[in-house]
């Protein structure tokens, strides 16, 4: 038990998973939840430690979404949904709210080309009268994994080899061969839309299931979708090589130049709505982030439009220091028990505190534009002027009071503490439906990209066989 004998080193790796303190980890795949559905328990120390360590891996560049571009504008309500939500910024048609938006690639470094095959981040910060609302999503409506416990491993597999710093298909295919739920995401990533022409010509999605609550307390599940008015356009392989070779910042430049020329990008916001009492009626779990809601059953309802009509004033202040967190919501909008969303609620704010400091919400790009008050103070880089003598609550010397109560979901949580997977996995149906919807030439390009990936010399026969089996079940 000499404390200096086994110093931290790969040479002393345990044959099984442990926490940083050496405690054995018997399940490194599932979060600890109340019952099979959740929500996730904060007492899952291994999950919190895993995410907290992951959030602090790199400084100061973002761990993911490092390469991005931002612009400012407004969101305008065009359709009345006040019967669905008491959110003030959605109260009536014609209401406008200032926004700032950041588009990004996900895996690659801050200086990487914007033509690489990768999901694209699509994050919108609404500066509402009730505080900020961050709608943090991607250009695809689904994701690779459904449990945040796997997020650090997923990013490690997608990132460059830690030995050579080269992104390699064998690592990606090895990891995801253990996760057939990733097939649906791959039908988007390996499709033609895997390389958007630029940021103006791509969809956006909130990805997760959120909850809308009206004044009466009625809750509805919701999915958010952005559709560009100029249409979706992509780059095929030869085009991506040509465009990226000529300008590795082509999408950033296109966004900036378009706004400067008065050709303002615009998106329509749509929502899908589901009554939570109906969530067990389907052959998939509606809160499973690897699934979409069929539009023939859950049609897209228009809500409003977003116009980006102003370029940012400073790239560092309004892009690099711009921080989004799915945990930042407003009254009338709430989370769901989506396992991946539940972990992002913690992880994003945690990583911003690490990257930018505990007072990152004081930075102008992140600060709310409405009045606000609390007793959070001091710490690194605090630059708020305060002259109060009372920094506690309650106090008879300070008249500040609680805000008016607003409704949140009141579903009863009931179940055993357990680490488990979603019961209705159904990993192959939706990827198959999407693949069969492709035209023959689009199917051919999709298959060609997979053949190229599976041809990596370090992809073993076992891994290749697993993937062929998966896609056979899909097609």
Range with lowest mean pLDDT among 15-29, 74-88, 443-457 = 15-29
Where is 450: in which H helix or E strand?
helix 440-454
Is the confidence at residue 179, as pLDDT, over 70? yes
**Any catalytic annotation for residue 427?**
no
pLDDT, residue 227, reads 98
Q: Which residue stretches of 6-90 are H helix?
A: 45-55
User: Rounded to the nearest 5 degrees, what angle is found at the Cα of 268, between the Cα atoms of 263 and 274?
Assistant: 165
Band the pLDDT of 3: cuts 50, 70, 90.
Answer: very low
For 253-269, the pLDDT digits (tens) are 999 999 999 999 999 99
Beta pairing class for 68-77 and 32-34: unpaired
Q: Is the pTM of this model over 0.85?
A: yes
Is the confidence at residue 4, as pLDDT, over 50? no
Name the phi and psi angles at 116, rounded to 5.
Answer: -80, 150
Mean pLDDT of all residues belonging to the chain:
93
Among the listed residues 91, 37, 98, 105, the one whose alpha carbon sits nearest the alpha carbon of residue 72:
98
For residue 348, say whether it is annotated as part of any ligand binding site.
yes
**Is the CATH code 4.10.91.20 the one for domain 1-57?**
yes
Interatomic CA distance for residues 76 and 89, integer angstroms:
9
Mean pLDDT of 370-386: 83
Mean pLDDT of 132-140: 97
Maximum CA pair distance of the chain? 73
- 68-158+195-362 matches 1-57 in CATH topology: no
Is the confidence at residue 425, as pLDDT, over 60? yes
Contact 171, 155 (CB under 8 A): no
What are the boundaries of each domain within the chain? 1-57, 68-158+195-362
Which of these is catalytic: 46, 108, 132, 138?
138
pLDDT, residue 379, reads 85
Q: Which string of DSSP letters, residue by residue, matches 87-132?
A: -GGGSSTT-EEEEEEEEEESSS-TTS-TTSS--EEEEEEEEEBTEE
**Any catalytic annotation for residue 139?**
no
For 319-370, the pLDDT digits (tens) are 999 999 999 999 999 999 999 999 999 999 999 999 999 999 989 999 998 8
Which of these is catalytic: 46, 65, 225, 354?
65
Which homologous superfamily is 68-158+195-362 in? Catalase core domain (2.40.180.10)
């Amino acid at each position: 038990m000499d404390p200096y004998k086994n110093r931290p080193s790969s040479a002393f790796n345990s044959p099984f998973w442990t926490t940083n303190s050496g405690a054995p980890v018997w399940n490194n795949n599932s979060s600890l939840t109340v019952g099979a559905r959740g929500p996730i328990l904060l007492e899952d120390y291994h999950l919190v430690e895993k995410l907290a360590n992951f959030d602090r891996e790199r400084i100061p560049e973002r761990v993911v979404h490092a390469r991005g571009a931002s612009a400012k504008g407004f969101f305008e309500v065009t359709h009345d949904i006040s019967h669905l939500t008491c959110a003030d910024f959605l109260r009536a048609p014609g209401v406008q709210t200032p926004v700032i938006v950041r588009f990004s690639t996900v895996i690659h470094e801050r200086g990487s080309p914007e033509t690489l095959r990768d999901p694209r981040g699509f994050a919108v910060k609404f500066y509402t009268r009730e505080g900020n609302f961050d709608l943090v999503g991607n250009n695809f409506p689904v994701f690779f994994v459904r449990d945040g416990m796997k997020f650090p491993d997923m990013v490690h597999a997608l990132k460059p080899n830690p030995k050579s710093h080269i992104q390699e298909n064998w690592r990606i295919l090895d990891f995801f061969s253990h996760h057939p739920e990733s097939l649906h995401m791959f039908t988007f990533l390996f499709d033609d839309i895997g390389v958007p022409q630029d940021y103006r010509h791509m969809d956006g999605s909130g990805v997760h299931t959120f909850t809308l609550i009206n004044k009466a307390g009625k809750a509805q599940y919701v999915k958010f979708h952005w559709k560009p008015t100029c249409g979706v356009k992509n780059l095929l392989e030869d085009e991506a090589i040509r465009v990226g070779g000529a300008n590795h910042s082509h999408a950033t430049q296109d966004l900036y130049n378009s706004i400067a020329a008065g050709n303002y990008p615009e998106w329509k916001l749509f929502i899908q709505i589901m009554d939570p009492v109906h969530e067990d009626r389907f052959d998939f779990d509606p809160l499973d982030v690897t699934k979409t809601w069929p539009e023939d059953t859950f049609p897209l309802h228009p809500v409003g439009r977003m116009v980006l009509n102003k370029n940012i004033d400073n790239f560092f202040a309004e892009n690099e220091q711009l921080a989004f967190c799915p945990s930042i919501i407003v009254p009338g909008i709430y989370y769901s028990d989506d396992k991946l969303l539940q972990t992002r609620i913690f992880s994003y704010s945690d990583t911003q505190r690490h990257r930018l400091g505990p007072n990152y919400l004081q930075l102008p790009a992140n600060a709310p534009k409405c009045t606000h008050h609390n007793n959070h103070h001091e710490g690194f880089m605090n630059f708020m002027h305060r002259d109060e003598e009372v920094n506690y609550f309650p106090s008879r010397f300070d008249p500040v009071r609680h805000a008016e109560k607003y409704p949140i979901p009141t579903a009863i949580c009931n179940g055993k503490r357990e680490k488990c997977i979603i019961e209705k996995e159904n990993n192959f149906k939706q990827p198959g439906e999407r693949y069969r919807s492709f035209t023959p030439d689009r199917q051919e390009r999709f298959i060609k990209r997979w053949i190229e990936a599976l041809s990596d010399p370090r992809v073993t026969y076992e891994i290749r066989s697993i993937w062929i089996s998966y896609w056979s079940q899909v097609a």
